[in-house]
């Protein structure tokens, strides 16, 4: 459980580098084309944080 919380905090910190805080929730819970339509929050739950970071980098570009 602690590892998941740590992963969520890491993803949130990275997302704050891309968007305003109020936009992050929509991104986390919305389907993401870079992640083949999967919600980023679902990747956190399965420990696939690096893939979320890659999606953030695409969004940032």
Q: Is the pLDDT of residue 1 over 80?
A: no
pTM: 0.81
Q: Which residues constitute the domain of residue 33? A: 2-60
Per residue in 16-55, pLDDT (tens digit) is 999 998 999 999 999 999 999 999 999 987 889 999 999 9
Q: How many domains does the chain have?
A: 1
Helices (H), the chain: 2-15, 21-29, 40-45, 49-60
Where is pLDDT greater, at 60 or 37?
37
Closest CA to 52 of 1, 22, 4, 2: 4
Query: Which of 1-5, 7-11, 22-26, 36-40 is least confident?
Result: 1-5
Q: Is the pLDDT of residue 5 over 90?
A: no
């Amino acid at each position: 459980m602690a590892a998941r919380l740590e992963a969520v905090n890491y993803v949130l910190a990275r997302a704050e580098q891309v968007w305003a805080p109020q936009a992050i929730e929509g991104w986390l819970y919305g389907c993401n084309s870079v992640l083949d339509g999967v919600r980023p929050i679902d990747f956190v739950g399965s420990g696939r944080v690096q893939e979320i970071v890659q999606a953030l980098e695409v969004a940032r570009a």
